[in-house]
Each structure stands twice: as structure tokens, then as C-alpha cells.
Amino acid sequence: MRGHRIAGTCLMVLLAIALGGCTPPERFTTYAHPRLSMVRPEKIGVLPFFKGRHPAQPGQTLNCPLGMLWFDKAGLVPGAEDTLTRMAHEAMVSRFGGKVESLDHSIAVWEGLPKDEATDTPLTIGRRAGQKMGVDLVLVGSVWRYRERTGGPAATWNPASVAFELYLVDVRTGEALWIGGFDETQKSLSENIWDLGTFMERGARWLTANELARFGMRELVAQIPLEQ
């Protein structure tokens, strides 16, 4: 049986080489404001994620009134927004170290802010939280899909699926200096033969939603074009 698996993997490698002109699926999307290259923040805050909708345009959720943020409950496991908040903070600390405000402080400030569902948006609330914390930038996030796999690491009939966006906001001006998105429903190697590198990096198995989200968060934060 092990020999069959090895032979199958070798066949996949040969097919991937033969399809060298193909490109891996685009799971990441990013946009950087030209001014971001000149920004030298001393402090960055990571705020709790919103549960929002799939934006028609990058960053659209930032300017949507809180009362109009809707989402499909069937597509979000309970607590997905809290899980992503912690992952985002861990990834930012790993990337920017002591410049990142503690998550406990950020959440305490966030929870203490009054919020008007009709007029406040993730952007206005994010700026107010950033001003109260005394940080230069805030990272705001929204999640609209966080679906767990059914099955195990070797076989699944519904793979994990995760989709979220990050917004790096200048607290002083209110500008979104960087927007990054991650959207992936894991597929088997036979469905994405040209994505061999990522498939092998992930252990050649079906991931849980948390594992898929952590991969996306780590890779997305690494793409922020901001000096450490």
C-alpha cells in the first residue's frame, strides 16, 4: 500500500512538471496604498474581527454600517471571529514584535467603546479604538466563511473552507493603507495538480478549518509591505 502511495505521488510530480505552464490557484489578494512605503509606525493595534459579508470590492466592508453587516450562519462555525482575531495577533507579533499592542488591551478598549449600529462602520470604530490606544495603525478584519471539514486528514467529503479580509488602517487619516484577502476551499492534489508545493508543505492531507486559516493568516501578514 505504501508503495502505491509513493508511486501515486511520483506520478503527480511528473504531471505537475508537465503542466509547468499552469499557475497555482489565487488564494490571496492584496492592495497597498502608495503611501504605505513611507509609514514608520511605532505601535500597531489588532482589533477583533467582524462577521461580515463577502465584499463585492476589496475593503467594502470597512465602510458598511454595523447594522448592515450580514453573514450566513451556516458558513461560519461558532467563534470563528475570535479564533481569527487571535491568529491575526499572533501573526502580527511574529512579524512586527514589540510594535504590536497586547491583545488584552486592544479588546478591553474595543469593548469599552460605544457603538451606533446605524452610523458606525468598522472604519470609524477602528479609528476610535486606535486613537484611544494611542497606536499609529490598526488591523481590522472581517470573516464571511469558516467551514469545518467533514471527515479526517486522510479522507473528507466536505473540505475546510475559509475566507477573510484584513485592513491596515492609518489611525490619523482613516486611510486603508493595505488590504489583504484570503479565500480557499481546500482541494485534492488531483484537482489542483499545479499546486503541488503547497499540497506537500501542508503534509499532503486534508486540513481542519483552523489549520487552513492559520496558513492563510501567516502567509497574508507576511505580504504586508511594511518595514519591521
Going by DSSP bridges, is the β-strand pair 50-51/44-46 parallel, antiparallel, or unpaired? unpaired
Q: Per the structure, how many domains does the chain have?
A: 1
Tell me the average pLDDT across 215-227: 94
Going by DSSP bridges, is the β-strand pair 137-147/44-46 parallel, antiparallel, or unpaired? parallel
Distance CA 61, CA 53 (A): 7
By CB atoms closer than 10 A (0-12, 13-18, 19+), residue 138 is: buried
Tell me the average pLDDT across 51-63: 82
Tell me the average pLDDT across 98-127: 96
Residue 54 pLDDT grade (very low, low, confident, very high; cuts 50, 70, 90): confident
Domain that holds residue 190: 2-222
* 104 in a structural domain: yes
Assess whether pLDDT exceeds 80 at residue 120: yes
> Among 148, 164, 138, 129, which residue's Cα sits nearest to residue 207?
148
Distance CA 104, CA 17 (A): 48
* 166 in a structural domain: yes
* 228 in a structural domain: no
* 90 in a structural domain: yes
Tell me the average pLDDT across 189-203: 54
pLDDT digits (tens, 9 = 90+) for 149-161: 676 555 555 788 9
Its pTM surpasses 0.75: yes
Let me know: does 69 contact 165? Beta carbons within 8 Å: no
User: 138: left (phi > 0), else alpha (psi -120 to 50), else beta?
Assistant: beta
Q: What is the pLDDT of residue 6?
A: 39
* 78 in a structural domain: yes
117: which DSSP letter? T
* 227 in a structural domain: no
* 74 in a structural domain: yes
Q: What is the CATH number of the domain that holds 141?
A: 3.40.50.10610
Let me know: does 141 contact 182? Beta carbons within 8 Å: no
